[in-house]
A and B are shown apart, each in its own frame.
Chain A
Amino acid sequence: MRNRSFIKHYYIMLLPGMVWLLFISIIPMFGIAIAFQDFNPGQGIWKSTWIGLENFEYMFSLNDTKTIFFNTVYIAVMKIAGNLIVPLVFAIMLNELRLMVIKRWVQTIVYLPHFLSWVILSGILLDVFSYTGPVNGLLNIVGIEPVLFFARADLFPFIVVGSDVWKEFGFNTIIYLAALTGISPSLYEAASIDGATRMRRIWHVTLPGLRTTIVLLAVLSLGNVLNAGFDQIFNLYNPLLYSTGDIIDTWVYREGLLNMQYGLATAVGLLKSVVSFVLIIVSYLLASKFANYRIF
């Protein structure tokens, strides 16, 4: 049997990670107290006055709050839909491609944007969609007046969702491709003997074969309904776009850290954390029930 003294070493192995976790993740959880205080940085968390739910009442009375919650959910849901469907279609197309060399090249190229930061991609996008950029150049050729893309609040959500899907679709394809290798080739042979065309084979063999994966990914993405992507929006937006582009995370950053509304911003952040927590728990429960998914 295993030596009892091993246990001591197990604790030593866990120690550095747990200390790190304690300081960066666990202690900040107690900082949530700020949401229930009229927080004064000079007095700190121990001496600031407690005001109960006042921050929350104020939060719900603000128009900003409705806007940011709506924008967050709107952008996040569109992203979730796009990031489920586009990679699925792309994976099926790749799967049908018979030239293996080209398949590998295409895969290598479409994964690439995933590894570039939103800072870099935003710099590129701002340039590509600028007044004199190539997109406006193309519009000019078909006779459309130049558009100031990053001054148009009505277009901003589409740019955000479109560029996110563009960045991530290749990478999101990987899971589908892994699932596709699990479909038995004999199913395709049987279908073709029965006279199914390639489109019919995709419809009756490939798609049903991917069903569990699609459901699993859809269920797990539920936890992201309040994550519209801070890095991306923070680097793309400007004050002209607040009405459709401001999300919870960017608002909390501006009101909390820049305008020093600590109590209010923490209250909004807390609401987001709690709702997200519930959604993730629900999505994990659903995933384990329907797809037998467990994280460990």
Chain B
Amino acid sequence: MIRETTLRSRVFDVTLLVVLLLIAFLCILPLWYTLAVSLSEKSAAAAGKVWLWPVGFNFNSYQQIIGDRSFFNSFWISIQRVVLGATITFVVTTMMAYPLSRSPREFRMRNAFMWILVFTLLFNGGLIPWYMTVKAIGLYDTIWALVLGGGVPVFNVILIVNYFRNLPKELDEAALVDGAGPWRMLITIYVPLAVPVLATVTLFTIVYHWNEFFHGLVLTSGQDHYPLQTLIQQFVVVIDASNMTEDQYKRMNELSNQTLNAAKIFIAMLPVLIVYPFLQRFFIHGITLGSVKE
């Protein structure tokens, strides 16, 4: 790095630092504001008196949530969904990636399967046919609709395939000479070596399943089966779709229970905030592995 101590360069550095810190603050400010609202007095929040610090600090809204059966029910559904979804996706996509990473000489149908995968990545039937198929095969209103309804994450499979193909061929040959079959090869050699990319796609799967709300909305029969994001969507975000005037909109705004909503939002955010520091370590490495190729 070039060391420079000219005044001009110093001014540049300081300005840069200030701008970047400002941008970073802008990214967490709305989240911080939500936390402040959730800890405030209801009336203060409704009057718009809360800025960055709670006004009339209290835990009322959090206590209210503790007594809310449907909130915990949805939280539990979301956890089930994340655990099942991440496990199944991990096993299925890794298993798919191994044969697809073989050269066409070893596995002649490899390219045919690869093209089917890429085709489903590029083209889809659209919302209505998807909805009707999922309903027709009997997933509607089961946890499996949430776990499997999103379909195979084909892009993850491709990332893993690319990673597998870049592993040294010598490993493969050595294992083969030692008499390892394809399952042994996958489980004891490929999976341990592909930890960076597997961790990345698994963490993205976890975030996807935690954040996804639409399948809960259209593939379940109601509140008792909603995952957390759908529940929040229904009670915090949805605005009655009947014809509305500006005045009605304004009044509704005033009636909504801001502190309670903010608390719900914050709790739904919490798992991501907690796993985020662990997650960050992996994904930068993992993403660039998949997207930037030599």
Interface residues of chain A, those whose CB is within 8 Å of chain B, are 2-3, 6-7, 9-11, 13-14, 16-18, 20-21, 23-32, 34, 45, 90, 93-94, 96-99, 102, 105-106, 108-113, 115-128, 130-134, 136-137, 148, 150-151, 166, 170, 174-175, 178-179, 185, 188-189, 192, 197-198, 230-231, 234-236, 238-240, 249, 252-253, 256-257, 262, 265-266, 269-270, 272-273, 276-277, 280-281, 294-296
Beyond the given A29-B125, A34-B132, A120-B229, please list 11 additional residue pairs across the A-B interface where CB-CB is below 8 A.
Answer: A6-B181, A7-B107, A28-B125, A34-B128, A34-B129, A112-B31, A123-B34, A137-B48, A166-B26, A238-B241, A270-B126
The total of chain B residues at the interface (CB under 8 A) is: 114
Are A124 and B182 closer than 8 Å at their CB atoms? no
The answer to whether residues A257 and B131 also contact, given A99-B17, A123-B265, A128-B33 and a CB cut-off of 8 A, is: yes
Pick from B4, B48, B239: contact of A238, CB under 8 Å? B239
- A14–B112 alpha-carbon span in the complex (Å): 12
The answer to whether residues A20 and B125 also contact, given A98-B13, A120-B269 and a CB cut-off of 8 A, is: no
- Which A residues touch B152, using CB under 8 A? 17, 20-21, 24-25
Pick from A90, A128, A132, A239: contact of B30, CB under 8 Å? A128
- A10–B96 alpha-carbon span in the complex (Å): 8
Are A240 and B183 closer than 8 Å at their CB atoms? no
- Which B residues touch A269, using CB under 8 A? 125-128
B8 at the binding interface (Cβ < 8 Å): yes
10 A-B residue pairings within 8 Å (CB atoms):
A18-B96, A21-B152, A32-B129, A112-B31, A115-B279, A119-B213, A124-B34, A132-B47, A132-B254, A252-B127
Are A16 and B92 closer than 8 Å at their CB atoms? yes
List B residues 1-51 near A (Cβ within 8 Å): 1-2, 4, 8-9, 12-13, 16-17, 19-21, 23-24, 26-28, 30-31, 33-34, 37, 46-48, 51
- A198–B244 alpha-carbon span in the complex (Å): 55
Are A151 and B151 closer than 8 Å at their CB atoms? no
- Which A residues touch B230, using CB under 8 A? 119
- A115–B27 alpha-carbon span in the complex (Å): 12
